[in-house]
Amino acid sequence: MAKEKRVGVSIHRTATEIKNYRRLKRLVAIAIGIAILFLIIGYVVSVLYMKFGAFTVMVNKFDHNEYALTLSENEDFKSQTSRLNAEISETITNIDGKTIPDWVDNINGEHNGDNYVAYTFYCSNAGEKTVTYSYDMYIANMTKEIEKAVRIRFYVNGKYTDYAYPRTDGVEGPEPGTTQFQSGNTVVRDTVTHFKPGDRTKFTVVIWLEGPDPDCVDKIIGGKFKIDMSISVLTPEDNK
């Protein structure tokens, strides 16, 4: 009788273990499914992100009657939007910035050259009031320290400045012939005052990898770089 009792206990434990094992198996399957889902979501977000291009510019106050800014790739503003994007070739390599043509600021919209991104667009005051607006250009994505070899030529109404990451060779200050990024991931931040209804500002952004830069080395191969620019109206309330 005692022997039969022990057998009964053994069978009970085995059934419990099987039940727990099945429950654990289901939980593992659910966990794997969730993990795969997150991976898929991450991949899709990555693909969509890259579709937004190498440069994105956006404005606020686009549809406000009194304080409104709008963007266009053409100075006639027949097509207006609050967001613009410039694409980039996946086969871009380094160049010497001196080879970029002088007329790069004279073509509207996207006009990429061999191994550089070039994009010209316009911002207009479509509102009823004179405003001050600010623009902020910043690094939105970077990998493999590629930003250390990047150059950004930024035109505002025909006048340009070349921006670059600070020197990394122990010497303080900007790379030769450039202006250092303003701070951290911010390339440049500035304001435009007395911007009257109908006024327009012309911008051109040129991006390339500077071959003569000491940081333009093999380790940055495959790196990604993207900059964004936001333009915001500063209303009288904002200026107080």
Residue-wise pLDDT for 163-215, tens only, equals 999 988 878 888 889 999 998 899 999 999 999 999 999 999 999 888 888 88
Q: Which residues of the chain have pLDDT under 50?
A: 1-11, 38-52, 240
Q: Is residue 240 part of a domain?
A: no
Pair (96, 202) in one structural domain = yes
Q: Is residue 153 part of a domain?
A: yes
What is the pLDDT, as a whole number, of residue 29? 67
Task: Give the range of the structural domain holding residue 59, as residue numbers without chain letter.
Answer: 54-234
Query: Which residue matches tokens 């991450």?
Result: 42
Number of domains in the chain: 2
What is the pLDDT, as a whole number, of residue 9? 42
What is the pLDDT, as a whole number, of residue 3? 47
Entry pTM: 0.75
- Please give the structure tokens belonging to residue 240: 């107080």
Pair (98, 145) in one structural domain = yes
119: closest CA among 87, 83, 82, 159?
87
CA 58 – CA 133 distance, rounded (Å): 13
Q: Is residue 10 part of a domain?
A: yes
What is the pLDDT, as a whole number, of residue 89? 59
Q: Is residue 239 part of a domain?
A: no
Pair (88, 133) in one structural domain = yes
Name the domain boundary from 26, 51, 76: 51
What is the pLDDT, as a whole number, of residue 33? 60
Q: Is residue 144 part of a domain?
A: yes
Name the domain boundary from 51, 70, 87: 51
Pair (62, 116) in one structural domain = yes
Pair (58, 41) in one structural domain = no
Name the domain boundary from 34, 51, 68: 51
Q: What is the DSSP letter of 53?
A: -
